[in-house]
Amino acid sequence: MKRPFFALVAVAASGSFSGCSCIQEIGGAYFPAWLLSILIGWVLAMIVRIVFVRIGLDGWIRPRSIGYPALNVFFTLLIYLIFFTN
């Protein structure tokens, strides 16, 4: 009884996700929007880290192994939300 229900949910979910891929053209090549968002988010996180080191806030971020990847995720999602959603 449960197996047909889960199969129906899986088919419905995969069909609803088929239109989520935004493609951007850069220099004649096509890139997915999420890839561009990750790259831009990474660059912004590195710029913020350099600024934090220069003004002395880098020492306050504990643990750094969670702080800077979280900053990267924040910038990635923000860029995707602002520029690539309809």
Q: Answer yes or no: are the C-beta atoms of 26 and 33 closer than 8 Å.
A: no
pLDDT at residue 7 in the model: 65
- Rounded to the nearest 5°, which phi and psi values hold at 79? -65, -45
Q: How far apart are CA 41 and CA 79, in angstroms?
A: 7
Those residues with Cβ within 8 angstroms of residue 85's Cβ, 6 or more apart along the chain or in another chain: none
pLDDT at residue 40 in the model: 94
Q: 0.75 exceeded by the pTM?
A: no
pLDDT at residue 27 in the model: 72
Instruction: Give me the tens of pLDDT residue by residue for the chain, a chain 86 residues long.
Output: 567 776 666 666 655 555 556 777 777 777 788 888 999 999 999 999 999 999 999 889 889 899 999 999 999 999 999 988 76
